[in-house]
A and B are shown apart, each in its own frame.
Chain A
C-alpha cells in the first residue's frame, strides 16, 4: 500500500486554502525514488547462485537441526543409483521410507512403478499405492515381451526447477547436493509441485507445506545410508558420494552406461539409472 502524505495542517481544520503544488511534486518525487531503489535492488542482486541465495535467506540445514556435529557439507556430493534390472518390486523401500519419514498415506517420497511392454510397444504401467504393498500378478491381455519394476524418487536435480521457482526460498539445494524444503518458511503455494517434472513433490495434507524425498538427510549426514537403500533386499538402490575416493556408485557412473530421467529438460538429475529403456519415463 502506498503511503500518501496527508498534510495534517489542512486536514485538522487549519486549512487556509493555499495552493501547495509542492506537496504533490514531493510526493511524486519520493514515489519515483522508491521505485528506482527497488528496481536497482532487483537488478543488482545475484540471481544465479541459488544455493547461496537459499543460504542468504536463512534456509540452511543447521537451522532445521539436520546436521550432526562435525559434519562438513563441502566434503560430500551425494548421488543415487537405481539398477532397474535388479528390482523385484517388493516395495520394501517404499514401506521403509514411509516409516522412516512419517510419509502421509497416499503420498510418496519414493515409489515403484511396474512396466509391462508388449511386442508392439504398448506399455501397461501401474503403481498401486506407490508399490508399497508389492504387486499382484495380473493379466494384461497383451503379448508382453518385456517387464520390469521402476523405482523412483526425487532426482535431486542440480539445475532444479522446483528451487528456481519457489517464491520464498523455502526450497533449496544444499552444498552436498540434496534438495530440501524448509517447512517453517514454505507458504504452501504448490508452485514447486507443479514445477517438478518427475512428480516427486506433494503438499503434505497436515502441514500444508511442500514435502519430498530428503535423501534421508538426517541419516546420511550422520554417516548412515538412506532408509530405502538399507531396506532393498537386492541392492537395486545405492547411495553414492562423488567426493569419496573409490566410491562404488561414483565408479559405476563413471564407467557404465547410466541414464537419467527426462534429460531433455536439462535439470541435470543426480539420480542415475542402470537398465533404463525407451518406454520408461
Chain B
C-alpha cells in the first residue's frame, strides 16, 4: 500500500533516481545556460555583455568539469562507466553522454583558450621562473599577437561559439530527452521535455552568471557595469517568461485533456508536490522574479544602479532555486507515483552523508565555484577595460 492507501507495484516502493539525478540536469543546465549566454556576446555581438563574456565561459567549464560526478555517484557500478563508450547502445539517449560530453569539453576548452590567448602571452612575458614556464605551456607554442592573428582568433572563435550554440542546446536538450523518452512515465513522456529543460537551463545559466558577476566584482571592489546588468536582466526576464509559459502549458494541456494520466498527475501536483511545485517552482521561484525583473526591465529609468543590482541579484537567487525545484519536481515527482498509476511511494528525503546525499550535492555545486576562483587567479575572468592586459603585446623570449 502506498502513502495514500493506493496500490503500488511491489517493486515500486522506493524512489530509485535520487538527489544526484536531480543534480545532473541542474548542473548540465548551468553549463548550457552559461555557454549560450556567452554566445550572445561572442556570436551575436551583444557588446553590452562584454563584461561577462569570459566569466560565462569559465563558469560553463567549471560546472562541466564536475557534472559527471553526479552520474558516477548515482551508478551502482561507476567503475564500469567506460562501457558507455566501449559498447554504447546507439538507441539509448543516456549512452550519448560520454560522446556529447567529450565533444563539448573540447569545444569549450578551445574557445576559452582563444579568448584568453592574448592574456596568456602577456602574462608569460611578464612573469619569471616556474610561472613563466606555466604560462608558456598554456600558450601552446603560439605567440602571435599581431592584428592579423587576432582577426584569425576572432574568426575561429565565432565558428566555435557558433557550433557551441547547437552544441549546448543538444547537450541539454538531450538531458530532457532522457526523461521525455520514457513512455512508461506520463509525467516525463512529453516531446516538450527537451525544450522545457533547455529554457530553464538558460534561465539558470544567466542567473548564475549574474550572481557570480555581482559577487566577483564586489570582492574585487569594482563597479558593476550598468548596461551589462540591464541587458542580463532583460535576457533573463525573457527566458523566464518563455520557460514558465512552457511549463504551465504542459500542465494545462494535461489537465484539460484529463486523459488517464491526469488521474495520477493531478493529485501529484496538487498534493504530493504542492510545496515544491506550486510553492517554489511556480510562485516563489517564478512569479516573484518575474515581477522583480519586470521592474528592472520596464522601469529602468527610475532605478538607481544599487536598486537594479539588488533586484537582479535577488531574482537570480530565486531563479536558481526555481530551476532546482523544477528538476526536483521532474525527477523525484516522476517517481513518486507507482507505475500502477494508483498510488504514491514513500516520501523521499535525501540523507546528509549518503552517496547520493546532501553533502556531496553541495560539494558538486561548490567545487565549480572554487574552480572559477582558481581560474581567475591564473587568468583574468572579468574583463578589465581600464587595465586591459592585452594592450601590452610583449612576446616572451628567453
Contacts and interface: CB of A to CB of B under 8 A. Distances in A.
Task: Tell whether A and B belong to one assembly.
Answer: yes
A58 B87 CA distance: 9
Given A6-B141, A15-B398, A125 B7 contact: yes
Contacts of B87: 57-58, 168-169, 185
A200 B91 contact: no
Contact of A18 (B74, B78, B105, B143): B143
Contact of B146 (A19, A164, A185): A19
B99 interface: yes
B158 interface: no
A13 B139 contact: no
Contact of A28 (B94, B110, B139, B143): B110
Interface stretch (A64-72, A201-209, A214-222, A244-252): A201-209
Contacts of A195: 182-184
A6 B77 contact: no
B141 A11 contact: yes
Contact of B137 (A11, A19, A164): A11
A188 B76 contact: yes
B75 A20 contact: no
A38 interface: yes
Contacts of B10: 106, 108, 111, 127, 129-130, 199
Contacts of B95: 167-168
B84 A127 contact: no
A122 to B, nearest CB: 11
B75 A201 contact: no
Contact of A106 (B13, B77, B182): B13
A5 interface: yes
A165 B7 contact: no
A23 B184 contact: no
Interface string B95-127: 101010011011001100100000000000000
B9 interface: yes
A188 B103 CA distance: 25
B144 to A, nearest CB: 3
Interface stretch (A45-53, A76-84, A231-239, A268-276): A45-53
Contact of B75 (A7, A18, A107, A188): A188
A189 B75 contact: yes
B90 interface: yes
A45 B90 contact: yes
Given A10-B141, A31-B106, A189-B75, A196 B184 contact: yes
B133 interface: yes
Nearest to A9: B141
A167 B149 contact: no
A108 B11 CA distance: 6
Contacts of B185: 194
A6 B120 CA distance: 14
Q: Nearest 3 A-B pairs (CB), nearest first?
A: A188-B76, A208-B76, A199-B9
Given A31-B110, A164-B92, A191-B92, A7 B184 contact: no
Interface stretch (B297-305, B336-344, B366-374, B376-384): B336-344
B291 interface: no
B89 interface: yes
A61 interface: no
A187 interface: yes
A190 B184 CA distance: 14
Interface in A107-123: 107-108, 111, 113
Given A167-B89, A187-B83, A38 B142 contact: no
Contacts of A17: 143, 395-397
Given A15-B136, A23-B140, A196-B184, A35 B16 contact: no
Contact of A169 (B71, B89, B341): B89
24 contacts: A2-B102, A4-B113, A7-B140, A10-B141, A20-B141, A21-B142, A21-B149, A21-B152, A24-B156, A27-B110, A28-B110, A58-B87, A108-B11, A111-B10, A111-B11, A127-B7, A167-B84, A190-B74, A196-B339, A200-B11, A203-B76, A265-B183, A281-B341, A281-B342
B92 A167 contact: yes
Interface in B2-34: 7, 9-13, 16-17
B222 interface: no
B34 to A, nearest CB: 19
A186 B77 contact: yes
B1 interface: yes
Given A164-B91, A187-B76, A16 B397 contact: yes
Interface string B181-209: 11111000000000000000000000000
A111 B78 CA distance: 31
Contacts of A196: 184, 339
Nearest to B7: A125
B93 interface: yes
B92 A23 contact: no
A143 interface: no
Contacts of B93: 165
A102 to B, nearest CB: 16
Question: Which of B76, B113, B152, B395 neighbours the largest number of chain A CB atoms within 10 Å of its CB?
Answer: B76
Nearest to A170: B83
A228 B119 CA distance: 71
A201 B12 CA distance: 9
Contacts of A50: 91
Given A108-B11, A168-B95, A2 B105 contact: yes
Question: Which of B141, B142, B144, B396 neighbours the largest number of chain A CB atoms within 10 Å of its CB?
Answer: B141
B105 A190 contact: no
B110 A194 contact: no
A166 B77 contact: no
A6 B113 CA distance: 13
Contacts of A47: 90-91
B83 A2 contact: no
Nearest to B87: A57
Contact of B89 (A2, A11, A13, A53): A53
B223 interface: no
